[in-house]
């Protein structure tokens, strides 16, 4: 049996993938150049290979200089990012189910989500601060005295910071998951319903498997963004301990030039954690049924 037709079909099937790769190269190559250059410069500066003052000397002094505060900052950043991502994923998934239900309430939720995504985090942080502070709108509406109101802004549990990230990023998760479900949920859901599946069975065996890849990808984006974002934690959080991006920004703006390598070291640690989370998410994505 000749293999010529099979080879022809294989080559024809590979052309769309090659064409797609060539089409995205003009956008990917500059992004990789800028990203690689930034990470490379931060690594070199943190290792003493790109000093602002003094001789070039390979060392880990920038990493050990903050050895006392750095582990605490890593724990705080991971706690904020994990809590924000978990709440955003649950709320976003529920909102996506409402959006794809086709009812009038779904259109309202979609419009609110679209308006929330376009709002800058800085404005969202100011709104959450005005709402949850001890002299804010919520304790006034509830008639609770400022002394009896819990410290939601600047408190020990970073409630206002987590609430802001969860609110904003749940809208992002909802739109991504709803966009994935919109093209396929109707036929699968109707087929399962015709076969006698109830609502819980359709949710477990149809909805969740269909949206799992989009949910993993969007949650990973939310986690990495929350881990590296500083403005919300800077406005609504405590002065100590500092999350990683707040520490990096403080060290970078220090009048002491020797603190610049320490800021670069904190940025490198943040990048390493983000890449590790992306790698874990990619491995989890490969285990989903839709990927296989």
In a domain, 61, yes or no: no
pLDDT of 277 strictly over 90: yes
CA atoms of 285 and 215, how far apart (whole Å) = 10
CA atoms of 14 and 36, how far apart (whole Å) = 29
- Average pLDDT rounded to a whole number, residues 69-80: 94
In a domain, 29, yes or no: no
Q: Give the CA diameter of the chain.
A: 86
In a domain, 13, yes or no: no
187-191, 212-216, 250-254, range with the lowest pLDDT: 187-191
In a domain, 156, yes or no: yes
Taking Cα atoms as reference points, which of 57, 35, 36 lies closest to residue 45? 57
Helix (H, G, I), strand (E, B) or coil at 291: coil
Which residue shows structure tokens 């790698």?
A: 279
- Average pLDDT rounded to a whole number, residues 55-80: 91
In a domain, 198, yes or no: yes
Write down the mean pLDDT value for the chain: 86
- Average pLDDT rounded to a whole number, residues 12-16: 53
In a domain, 97, yes or no: yes
5-9, 25-29, 66-70, 83-87, range with the lowest pLDDT: 5-9
- Average pLDDT rounded to a whole number, residues 172-192: 81
Global pTM? 0.87
Domains of the chain: total: 1
List the CATH number of the domain containing 150: 1.10.3720.10
Enclosing H/E stretch for 7 = helix 4-46
Residue 177 near residue 208 (C-beta atoms within 8 A): no
In a domain, 201, yes or no: yes
Taking Cα atoms as reference points, which of 158, 139, 159 lies closest to residue 149? 139
In a domain, 103, yes or no: yes
The boundaries of the domain holding residue 127 are 69-287
In the chain, the percentage of residues whose pLDDT exceeds 90 is 46
CA-based radius of gyration for the chain: 24
Buried b (16+ CB within 10 A) or exposed e, 238-273: beebbbbbbbbbbbeeeeeeebbbbbbbbbbbbbeb
CA atoms of 262 and 51, how far apart (whole Å) = 11
């Amino acid at each position: 049996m000749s293999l010529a037709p099979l080879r022809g079909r294989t080559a024809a099937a590979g052309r769309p993938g090659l064409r797609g790769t060539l089409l995205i190269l003009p956008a990917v190559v500059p992004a990789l150049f800028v990203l690689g250059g930034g990470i490379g410069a931060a690594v070199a500066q943190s290792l003493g290979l790109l000093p602002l003052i003094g001789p070039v000397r390979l060392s880990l002094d920038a990493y050990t200089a903050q050895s006392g505060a750095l582990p605490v900052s890593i724990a705080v950043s991971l706690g904020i990012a994990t809590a924000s991502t978990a709440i955003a994923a649950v709320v976003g998934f529920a909102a996506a189910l409402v959006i794809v239900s086709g009812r009038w309430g779904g259109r309202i939720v979609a419009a609110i989500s679209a308006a929330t995504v376009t709002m800058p985090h800085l404005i969202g942080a100011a709104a959450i601060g005005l709402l949850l502070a001890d002299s804010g709108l919520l304790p006034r509406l509830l008639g609770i005295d400022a002394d009896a109101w819990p410290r939601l802004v600047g408190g020990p549990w970073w409630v206002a910071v987590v609430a802001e990230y969860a609110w904003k990023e749940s809208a992002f998760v909802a739109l991504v998951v709803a966009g994935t479900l919109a093209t396929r949920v109707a036929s699968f859901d109707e087929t399962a319903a015709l076969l006698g599946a109830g609502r819980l069975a359709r949710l477990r065996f149809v909805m969740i498997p269909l949206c799992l890849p989009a949910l993993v990808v969007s949650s990973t984006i939310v986690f990495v963004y929350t881990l590296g974002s500083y403005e919300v934690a800077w406005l609504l959080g405590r002065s100590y301990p500092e999350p990683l991006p707040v520490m990096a920004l403080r060290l970078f703006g220090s009048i002491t030039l020797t603190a610049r390598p320490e800021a670069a070291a904190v940025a490198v640690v943040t990048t390493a954690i983000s890449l590790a989370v992306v790698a874990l998410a990619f491995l989890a994505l490969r285990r989903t049924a839709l990927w296989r």
